[in-house]
Structure 1
Amino acid sequence: MARIVILGAGVMGSAMTLPAAHAGNSISLVGTHLDEEIVASVASTGHHPRLNVTLPAAVVAYPWTGFVDAMSDRPDLLVLGVSSAGVPWAIDRIAESVTSPVPILMVTKGLAARDDGIDILPHVVAREIQRRTALSMPVMAVGGPCIAGELAAQRDTSVMVAGHDADSIAAASRLLRAPFYHARASSDLAGVEICAAFKNFYTLAVGAPVGLLERDNKAPNGALMHNLASSLFSQSLQEMAILVEALGGKIATVRGLAGSGDLYVTCQAGRNGRMGRLLGCGLRYSVAKRDHMSSDTVEGAQLALDLGPTLERMMSRGKLPRDRLPLTAAIVEAICHDAPLVLSFDSFHRG
């Protein structure tokens, strides 16, 4: 029986216990300091209050203070399920806990700004752990359309497991093998991670027609704005492909599960689409966030705030083609500069 440690007891980290348990592993689910209520519930009854499911009997829940103990008998896989904001905290915990290399699989999504560009989180984690511990650890990532509640209900889910080492990818996929969890291997770690982060960003735009419809009302014949939403979806994929290629990924990844698949499922519901609706209604981002979503983490908007200045610098320096990224520029302008979201179709679909 293999051992898996999952750091982060939120919905996605906890949902990963379902395929992991089905594959016959023992699982230590370690919460962060924000997961104390969840950990207490799982430890006492097995019930996860946010997923509203009972986790498998193979799962043992620990508070974050138990992470060192969970890692003491070297696990076969460490799944990192904290938020992107929690990655530095997770690196601290890993660095103080490991004495030999442990494969890491990240379900955390996000990117990191650098002075001269953008970095993917698996590279940040691997580099920082090696700097602190002198250990070289394979850091992989999961991408693709995976709603945590559906995975927890054991609905069929197809994902990409991406990394630089084929053997590590194969081993991690075996540890998560289940009839309802279908993992495909990818060597395009950069492409998968860029798609995973930017799908939230572009959903802000794809969600805007819902707000535009509320503002302008239905047409006399009852027509909606599906044509507009579809056009924005297409433009999002086109610009995502430009970003992926410019940042070292493969365009083919955008056409698959990690790109079009994940963007599609993200556009169906969620916080990013709700913010897009508010922007479509004509609200400035600051007003929409303050008055309607003050307690929500809107991942796409946070990505814009984190990377917007870097994207603008890369465009001004010619590292990114501004004329081919009009929707990207419009979203950055709306979020970072609190301007109206302007959808200029004269600039779309130009190649």
Structure 2
Amino acid sequence: MSIITIIGAGQMASALTFPATENNNKVRLVGTPLDRDIINIAKDTGFHTTLKRQLPKAGIEYYQIEDVNKAIDGAEVIICGVSSFGVDWFADNILPILPEEIPVLSITKGMITEEDGKMINYPQYFLSKLPANKKLSISAVGGPCTSYELADKDNSEVVFCGDDIKILRIFKNLFETSYYHISLSKDIVGVECAVALKNAYALGVSLAIGLAIGADGSGKEHYNSQAALFGQSIKEAKHLLEIVGSGEENIIYFGGDLYVTVFGGRTRRIGTLLGQGFSFEEAMEQLKGVTLESVVIATRAAKYVRSLAEKGIVKLQEFPMLIHIDEIINSGNIVDIPWKSFESEKI
């Protein structure tokens, strides 16, 4: 039995309590300042209000953020369970108090765009934010897995990535079950880039859903158009992964994560609303209070591509779908899928 401290009580972080406790580990679930009600209700009833599931009855202790030091004391691993909007909070408030000997596993998917346009993953960003002379081992989780279905113990294939294979094996032993299947990879840049990009492109594929059902929602969902946008997403992401030096196998994690994201959740909702003709502002108003990481990563990825184009490394025409998504989000453009730009001629 090991003690696992999860900091952040969101849906995916809390869903991990299922495989963790099933393996007879002791879990300490710590809420961020925004998770106070989640922790209070779960502590009293065992019910998670956003995951909408009863959490495991045994093996979990609940902590408010004021008791985070107590939750960390004696822990053998730390899970960073915040969303991309909590990354800076975690870096500023949690990283400085973590003992160097405790490895960290981040479930947060996304990228940070630096001033020069370069994208770095969250483990890289966390390491750059560490206090002087402090070292931590920070690994990450990627792959297609929704929190709801993990909690329901549906078979899921994920990948744990990091620079220390021995630590990755420790994490695998803690979490792998008959339904939670874990591959390991030292290609942290490739894996993290792949699973971050899927958020941007899932929004793009979902535009086809909104276009098909129409402004009043009375139309029928079409799959040819979704498949075409799915294919273009694979093409553009494959090119981006090559640019960052990713191993070619990581396109599997992009494709799988893209598939599961298009079939449900927050990203599908924002893409569908935009496809129905709502402006970005109107769509955001309808989804007020919903964490939309797809908007963040689409903006950052497009900024990165534009910076590469300015340096002559790529051409914007090579990424028509990503650029169109960015123009919808940040320039107020209406949805007008650039179908002709997807065509190619191979001789």
Q: TM-score range by the shorter chain?
A: over 0.9
Please say if 1:244 is aligned against 2:213. Answer: no
Q: CA deviation at 1:209?
A: 1.6
SS at match of 1:207: helix
Aligned pair in 2 of structure 1 residues 318, 43: CA closer, same or farther (>3 Å)? same
Tell me the equivalent position of 1:64: 65
Could you tell me how far apart the structure 1 residues matched to 2:232 and 2:302 are?
19
Tell me the equivalent position of 1:201: 200
TM-score, length of structure 2 as denominator length: 0.92
Could you tell me how far apart the structure 2 residues matched to 1:278 and 1:321 are?
29
Residues 44-92 of structure 1: CA deviation (Å, up to 9, x unaligned)? 232222223332211101001111111122x221111101121121122
Alignment of 1:269-284 (within 5 A): 269-284=264-279
TM-score, length of structure 1 as denominator length: 0.91
Instruction: Give 2:325's match in structure 1, choosing from 331, 338, 343.
Output: 331
Alignment of 1:249-268 (within 5 A): 249-254=246-251, 256=252, 258-268=253-263
Tell me the equivalent position of 1:296: 290
Alignment of 1:23-62 (within 5 A): 23-56=23-56, 57-62=58-63
Tell me the equivalent position of 2:119: 118
Most deviating of 236-245 and 49-58: 49-58
Tell me the equivalent position of 2:76: 76
Residues 169-210 of structure 1: CA deviation (Å, up to 9, x unaligned)? 111111112111111111221122112221111111211122
Alignment of 1:307-326 (within 5 A): 307-326=301-320
Asked if the contact 2:6–2:13 (Cα under 8 Å) also holds between the matched residues in 1, the reply is: yes
Tell me the equivalent position of 1:12: 12
Q: Give the partner amino acid of 2:332.
A: D
Residues 137-190 of structure 1: CA deviation (Å, up to 9, x unaligned)? 221111111110111122221111111111111111111121111111112211
Q: CA deviation at 1:211?
A: 1.7
Could you tell me how far apart the structure 2 residues matched to 1:155 and 1:5 are?
24
Could you tell me how far apart the structure 1 residues matched to 2:338 and 2:54 are?
48
Aligned pair in 2 of structure 1 residues 251, 349: CA closer, same or farther (>3 Å)? farther
Asked if the contact 1:112–1:307 (Cα under 8 Å) also holds between the matched residues in 2, the reply is: no
Residues 319-349 of structure 1: CA deviation (Å, up to 9, x unaligned)? 3332211111111111111111221122114
Alignment of 1:44-193 (within 5 A): 44-56=44-56, 57-73=58-74, 75-116=75-116, 117-129=118-130, 132=131, 134-193=133-192
SS at match of 1:195: helix
SS at match of 2:214: helix
Aligned pair in 2 of structure 1 residues 68, 93: CA closer, same or farther (>3 Å)? farther
Could you tell me how far apart the structure 1 residues matched to 2:277 and 2:310 are?
28
Could you tell me how far apart the structure 2 residues matched to 1:297 and 1:26 are?
29
Aligned pair in 2 of structure 1 residues 111, 285: CA closer, same or farther (>3 Å)? same
Instruction: Give 1:225's match in structure 2, choosing from 218, 222, 227.
Output: 222
Q: CA deviation at 1:102?
A: 1.5
User: What is the number of residues matched between the two proteins?
Assistant: 343
Q: Give the partner amino acid of 1:300.
A: S
Asked if the contact 2:305–2:316 (Cα under 8 Å) also holds between the matched residues in 1, the reply is: no
Most deviating of 185-194 and 49-58: 49-58
Q: Give the partner amino acid of 1:25.
A: N
Gaps of 5+ in 2: none
Asked if the contact 1:8–1:32 (Cα under 8 Å) also holds between the matched residues in 2, the reply is: yes
Could you tell me how far apart the structure 2 residues matched to 1:217 and 1:67 are?
48
Aligned pair in 2 of structure 1 residues 227, 307: CA closer, same or farther (>3 Å)? closer
Identity level (%): 32
Q: CA deviation at 1:306?
A: 4.2
Residues 243-274 of structure 1: CA deviation (Å, up to 9, x unaligned)? 112123223211x2x21111000010122112
Could you tell me how far apart the structure 2 residues matched to 1:45 and 1:279 are?
38
Q: CA RMSD in A?
A: 2.1
Asked if the contact 1:115–1:310 (Cα under 8 Å) also holds between the matched residues in 2, the reply is: no
